[in-house]
Amino acid sequence: MEKFQIHGGRRLSGVVEVSGSKNSALPAMAAALLTDEPVVLEHVPGVRDIRTMGRLLADIGAAVEAQGSRYSIQAGCITSPEAPYDLVKTMRASSLVLGPLVARAGRARVSLPGGCAIGARPINLHLSGLEKLGARIRQEHGYIEAQAPGGLTGAQIHFERITVTGTEDLLMAAVLAGGETVLANAACEPEIVDLAELLVKMGARIQGAGTSTIRILGVPELAGATHRIIPDRIEAGTFLIAGAITGGDLEVRGARPDHLGALLDKLRGAGVDCAAGPEGSIRVRAPSGLKAVDVTTQEFPGFATDLQAQWMALMTQAEGASIITEMIFENRFLHALELARMGADISTQGHRAVVRGPTPLSGAAVIASDLRASASLVLAGLVARGETVVDRVYHIDRGYERIERKLSAAGASIRRL
C-alpha cells in the first residue's frame, strides 16, 4: 500500500496548475451513454475515479479512448446496462449511470455505491425521482434495478433536500423523457452547470441550470459533442490553503475564482492576502500570524464540505478558537483524531468541531479515512516538525492528480513510498 512521506517546515512558493474537475468529469462521462455518437471530453483529470468510470463505461459497452487529459467515449451499443459491485465499490459516482441507462436503454442494474467513509449518502432521492419519471424500481442483493421499457415521461420533481448527484442523475434521465420535467430545490453547484452545458451541446433543451429550478424539455435523441471540463475548485482550494498554512507565496493557476468565493472570503478573514490575476490565477500570501475563523459547510455558493478537513488543518495554526460546523455529512470529522495525534487541539461533538490554536504540530504516522481527510493530513504534514507518513493514499489518488509532484514543484518535501 502506497504512502506519502513528508518533511515539514518548508514555505510553498511558485506556481501550481489546477487539473480538471473530477466531480464534473464523472457525470460528463456518464452523459456519453445518452447518445450513440462520440462525446469528446477535454481537461479530464488523471485520477483513480476517472479510470474506474472509464472501465465501467467500457464494461457497459462503450468504446473509451484516453489520450492524456482527452477522453473520447462512444456508446454505440449498450451491451450490458449494469454497474457491477466489483467495479464501483470504491466510487460513489457509480450511481450517475443509473439515469442515463434507464433513459437510453430502458433498464439498468446498478450496485449500491461505495467510496469514502463520511456517513450515509442515500440514493433514495435518485430513485423516487426516477419513479416519478415512470421507471419501475426494485432493490435486492445490493443492487438497484430500474426498468422503463416504454421510455420515461416528464414530471414535476421536488427534492426533499439538495442533492448534487441526484440533480445530475435526474437531469440526464430527463433529457430523453417525453414532455417537460421540472427539478425543484435542485443543486446549484458549478458542476451542475457544466453538465448542463455539455448536454445542451448534445442537443438537450435545458433552462435554469445553476439555479434551484431546472426545466428540461425532452428530446427524442442526442448527438455527440466536444466539451472542456471546468477546473477543479476543490483541488484549487486545497492548494490555496496549502500556501496559507505554510506561510507561503503561491500562485494557483487555471482556477475559477467565481467558484471559490466562500473560501476566498474566509481566507481573507484569516488574514491571508488573496489576489485574483489573469486567466484564472489566484495568488495567496500568508501573514506571520493567522486569525481563527469559523466556517459552516453549506451547498454552493456556501463553504464546500469538501474543503472542511483542509480548513481544519489550517485552523490548527491560527490564533484563537475556530468553530467548524458540518451541515452536509455526518461522520466527517474522522481526520480530527489523526490531526490530534500530530498535536492539534480539537474537540468534536456531533456536527461541530472546535479548533484551538496555534499549536505546533509534530510529524507522526497517520491514516487517511477518506479523500478530503487525506488532503488535510498532507497539509498538516507540510507544517509539522519532523517526518509525517500518510497511509492509505489511494483515497487521495481518487481526487487529486499527482498532488505530490505539484507540491514538490512548489517547494514541499513530499514523496510517494
Strand-pair partners of 324: 295, 353
Quick one: pLDDT at residue 370? 84
Q: Which amino acid would we find at residue 405?
A: R
Q: Which domains does the chain have, with CATH numbers?
A: 3-18+231-416 (3.65.10.10), 22-228 (3.65.10.10)
Q: Are 254 and 281 in contact (CB under 8 A)?
A: yes
The CA distance from 18 to 22, in Å, is 11
Cis peptide before 113 (omega within 30 of 0): no
The pLDDT of residue 113 is: 64
Catalytic residue among 77, 116, 188, 274: 116
pTM of the entire predicted model: 0.95
The cell for 165 is 448527484
Backbone dihedral region of 111: left (phi > 0), alpha (psi from -120 to 50 degrees) or beta? beta
Cell digits of residue 128: 423516487
Count the Cβ atoms, other than its own, within 10 Å of residue 257: 18
Closest CA to 100 of 33, 148, 37, 146: 33
Instruction: Render each residue's pLDDT in the chain as its tens digit; 417 residues.
Output: 899 999 999 999 999 999 999 999 999 999 999 999 999 999 999 999 999 999 999 999 999 999 999 999 999 999 999 988 888 777 777 789 999 999 999 999 998 765 444 344 467 888 999 999 999 999 888 888 999 999 999 999 999 999 999 999 999 999 999 999 999 999 999 999 999 999 999 999 999 999 999 999 999 999 999 999 999 999 999 999 999 999 999 999 999 999 999 999 999 999 999 999 988 999 999 988 999 999 999 999 999 999 999 999 999 999 999 999 999 877 678 899 999 999 999 999 999 999 999 999 999 999 988 888 899 999 999 999 999 999 999 889 988 999 999 999 999 999 999
Q: Could you give the C-alpha distances from 118 to 37, 334, 373, 414, in angstroms and in order? A: 37, 8, 10, 26
Phi and psi for 403 in degrees, rounded to 5?
A: -60, -35
Model pLDDT, residue 114: 53
119 φψ region: left (φ > 0), alpha (ψ -120 to 50), beta (else)? left
Rounded CA separation 274/267 (Å): 7
Per the CB < 8 A criterion, the answer to whether 146 and 135 are in contact is yes
User: What does the H/E/C string look like for the chain?
Assistant: CCEEEEECCCCCEEEEECCECHHHHHHHHHHHHHCCCCEEEECCCCCHHHHHHHHHHHHHCCEEEEECCEEEEECCCCCCCEECHHHHCCCHHHHHHHHHHHHHHCEEEEECCCCCCCCCCCCHHHHHHHHHCCCEEEEECCEEEEECCCCCECCEEECCCCCHHHHHHHHHHHCCCECEEEEECCCCCHHHHHHHHHHHHCCCEEECECECEEEEECCCCCCCEEEECCECHHHHHHHHHHHHHCCCEEEEECCCHHHCHHHHHHHHHCCCEEEECHHHCEEEECCCCEECCCEEECCCCCECHHHHHHHHHHHCCEEEEEEEECCCCCCCCHHHHHHHHCCCEEEEECCEEEEEECCCCECCEEECCCHHHHHHHHHHHHHCECEEEEECCHHHHCCCCCHHHHHHHCCCEEEEC
Q: What's residue 125's pLDDT?
A: 86
Chain center to CA of 409: 24
- Confirm whether 116 is a catalytic residue: yes
**Cβ of 411: how many Cβ atoms within 10 Å?**
15
Cβ(156)–Cβ(182) below 8 Å: yes
With CA atoms as reference, report the closest residue to 403 among 237, 230, 239: 239
How many Å from the N-terminal Cα to the C-terminal Cα in the chain? 9
Residue 201's nearest CA partner among 375, 37, 343 is 37
